[in-house]
A and B are shown apart, each in its own frame.
Chain A
């Protein structure tokens, strides 16, 4: 099976709302997967996973061209997880996309698991790069995009960054390189949850104004509500049509999105969830989807 995606024929309103509803359902299952994995460890980057689930649902179930059974397919679109600590979110999405078996998620973070806490290419089928050290993804994406273009391969390269990662100077080296080389086969996705390890991004190191910065670096920049699937789909479709420069989709997301219990707790980069709370979280997720 090849998970084909857009560019799709202009869809009628019904088709479009069906498409959005299908992705919303997928996003909810991704959140559910992430909660199940978080429960195994009792803690983790669960807030980020819930926040970025809608973005990953659009990417993995609507945008990315890949063959779940053949992660090394030459013509696949590349999705780079520059933020290795988002592994929990990526595994949750890759299980939804059929790249890794759903039942394997329970091994997350365990000894000898293919699903380590921080994403590593050598461990997990479909994981393109190893994360952990921030500021690497966009540089590797630059080289993949240059290489694919050089080889006449039309595959796209997506790189998921976080707003905290924009502190790293290497990200901006890569941003300049992508623009200089006119890499319109690169799409950067920035998850702006406004929180990093030492606290709110605005207080740690101010990265705003993000759209102006990326545009000044020569990028086609869009900023959307990263928890609104309909808006995300429209933005990704627009980016797919864009030519001549790399694109960045800046996604404002809410930590813990979809689970009010976690959305409302004190914002934490590395969230602790009590044993009894996991079921409450799952119930809240289910209730939210029904609404």
Chain B
């Protein structure tokens, strides 16, 4: 018997693996189709990409409106600069690339060419957070941290195809610059089962609950809803507040959600530094609300490469991991997740 025969079957991940659960309802390329619908109503809509049209669902727009699509090559700086120039002459551009390139590589251009003049340019970043097993070069784990400090910029982290379809016209209608964390390919369709409409700058309570409130954004709202169902079976009553707009943040809704004796947990597909957890924490602290915030987020690390389900489990973003974390917090232990801060620190002065 060879050693190969005993070897465990390996799980691997493509660069742009889907994070949809097996058998989950999905919608194909919701961004591209939404942009097409919008383009039929608004002739000033144009699209740009930096050699990633095919991988950002921009190809749907490119194929339907070839005269309104501009290929800028693998050159994110000029793509964002050119998008600004197009907005300066009255067009409404959507410019797509991977989040890592839009934020890390071309930030100066997003900041100074687009955000400072307040232009209606819509930057669309694919593979946000941990949505690829390709490793740190493609995992935009800190894009929100980079962009939240940028004045004028509206930032949206959609949950699913419903969010994306409704966000696209809203982003174009907003007069200033926006950044959309794109979910591409076969995107889960979840929010149509709720009484929900995407509204720019507004959080939405998708379910109510007396014991725990999950304040979530992006694809983690899907996981939060699944976790809430599972916890309900254990008679844990979990509310879910979906926060698709990271900036400007719906602080009123967050304060309403946190001003209770429920366990407050934030859920995000982003580093624990500079994303939703810290946005919520600062919102509470600035308002003098002393609630503890349990952050479910990616660690402050360069993440591993591998299969997406494995990585979501390892870094705490899977539904299983989220349920375990909430149970541990309710049970008074923090599970395998070391708590960086004691809940009730000894006061420095007596």
Residue positions of A touching B, CB distance < 8 A:
74, 121-122, 128-130, 132-133, 135-136, 138-148, 150-151, 153, 169-170, 173-174, 176-177, 180-181
Contacts and interface: CB of A to CB of B under 8 A. Distances in A.
Interface of B: 46, 67-68, 70, 72-73, 75, 77-78, 80-91, 93, 108-109, 112-113, 116-117
Nearest to A144: B85
Contact of A146 (B75, B82, B108, B112): B82
A151 B89 contact: yes
A150 B81 CA distance: 17
Contact of B108 (A133, A141, A143, A153): A133
Given A130-B116, A150-B91, A170-B109, 10 more contacts: A74-B90, A130-B112, A140-B113, A142-B81, A142-B85, A143-B87, A146-B70, A148-B89, A150-B68, A177-B75
Nearest to B82: A143
Contacts of B113: 129, 136, 139-140
Contacts of A74: 90
A218 B173 CA distance: 38
Contacts of B67: 150
6 closest Cβ pairs, A-B complex: A143-B85, A139-B81, A143-B82, A144-B85, A173-B75, A147-B89
Nearest to B84: A140
A85 B319 CA distance: 53
Most chain B CB within 10 A, of A121, A128, A129, is at A129
Contacts of B89: 143-144, 147-148, 151, 153
Contacts of A133: 108, 112
Nearest to A177: B78
Contact of B46 (A135, A138, A150, A181): A150
Contacts of A121: 117
A174 B90 contact: no
Nearest to A155: B89
B73 A139 contact: no
Nearest to B48: A143
Contacts of A181: 70
Nearest to B112: A133
19 contacts: A132-B112, A133-B112, A139-B77, A139-B81, A139-B84, A140-B81, A140-B82, A142-B81, A146-B70, A147-B86, A147-B90, A147-B91, A150-B67, A150-B68, A170-B78, A170-B109, A174-B81, A176-B73, A177-B73
A170 B112 contact: no
A173 B80 CA distance: 11
A81 to B, nearest CB: 14
A146 B86 contact: yes
A140 B72 contact: no
Contacts of B93: 143
Most chain B CB within 10 A, of A121, A122, A147, A148, is at A147
Given A139-B77, A177-B72, A177-B73, A122 B117 contact: yes
Contacts of A138: 78, 81
A135 B89 CA distance: 20
Contacts of A150: 46, 67-68, 86, 91
Nearest to B50: A173
A191 B46 CA distance: 33
B86 A143 contact: yes
Contact of A143 (B73, B75, B84, B117): B84
B73 A140 contact: no
A147 B78 CA distance: 14
A138 to B, nearest CB: 8
Contacts of A139: 77-78, 80-82, 84-85, 109, 113
Contacts of B70: 146, 181
B283 to A, nearest CB: 30
A134 B81 CA distance: 12
A128 B81 CA distance: 13
Contacts of B90: 74, 147, 151
Contacts of A174: 78, 81-82
Contacts of A129: 88, 113, 117
